[in-house]
Amino acid sequence: MRNNTNLAALFIALSTVAAGCATSKPMDEGKIYKLYYLGGQSNMEGFGFSEELPESALKPSQRAMIYTGQMAYDNETHGGIGIWQPLQPGYGLGFKTDGVTNQLSNRFGPELFFGHTMVQQSDEANIAIIKYALGGSGLAEGVGYSNWHPDFSEGAGINQYDNALKTLRNALAHSDIDGDGIADRLIPSGIVWMQGEADAYDSQAAADDYRANLERLMGLLRAAMRVDDLPVAIGKVTDSGMSEDGSVMDF
């Protein structure tokens, strides 16, 4: 884990985007986008079937862009690469990218209707979404298939927090996210977090530490986006009850 290095590089990326927009002539100004980070585990990754969507939700958005970082387990080095593309179905389970081309899947996640809904709130708003999520990941060290704990030090010390920072850094390295040849302005506007099942399933200790771990991580993500009071929306999942004792998340 190299938190200071990762955050410093991210600050430079944010500053570069802002500076590029500030120096543009009025006639050459790009679009203004409200920027949101979406993260978490499986319910953020997305399991909805695109074939079940209405026709109106299938077309690429004209006012919402998305950068989804390639998922990677702890200590894998390919996490966080990606490209900006118009929002559409296919960024859920099974999505892949090599940083040059996106391979859309047949699934979608919360990003789809979140983006469409936020666009509909204003006749002029453009929305930019940066997404990084990994199914089965936990906040506490040793929980889930991989974890988000900022102090993770096993192996190469690369975990989901690092992958999220890398996703943000890579996404923000692009000043022209819609490819029209003019630098855009991205305004950090919020974080949407959907995670917790792994910790609630693992142990009482992980569940007891969840609030503190979540508050710390949200603080770090706010710092990464350079807005200390950035709004955070946290989703809640109802236990499916699909276990012998009727409770999957025992804690």
Q: Give the contacts of 214 (CB within 8 A, at least 6 positions apart).
A: 139, 193, 196, 234
pLDDT of residue 246: 62
Q: What's the gap between Cα 129 and its chain centre?
A: 7
pLDDT of residue 155: 97
Contact 75, 152 (CB under 8 A): no
Contact 37, 225 (CB under 8 A): yes
Q: In the chain, which residues have pLDDT < 70?
A: 1-27, 239-243, 245-251
pLDDT of residue 91: 99
Name the residue among 146, 185, 163 with its Cα closest to residue 19. Answer: 185
pLDDT of residue 49: 98
- CA distances to 5, 33, 202, 235 from 131, rounded to whole Å, are 21, 15, 25, 15
pLDDT of residue 199: 87
CA angle at residue 91 from 13 to 170, to 5 degrees? Answer: 15
Spans of all domains in the chain = 3-234
| Confidence (pTM) | 0.87
Q: Which CATH number fits domain 3-234: 3.40.50, 1.10.1740, 2.70.50, 1.10.287?
A: 3.40.50
Instruction: State how far the Cα of 131 lies from the Cα of 87, in Å rounded to an integer.
Output: 11
Name the residue among 118, 132, 131 with its Cα closest to residue 61. Answer: 118
Q: Give the contacts of 14 (CB within 8 A, at least 6 positions apart).
A: 172, 225, 226
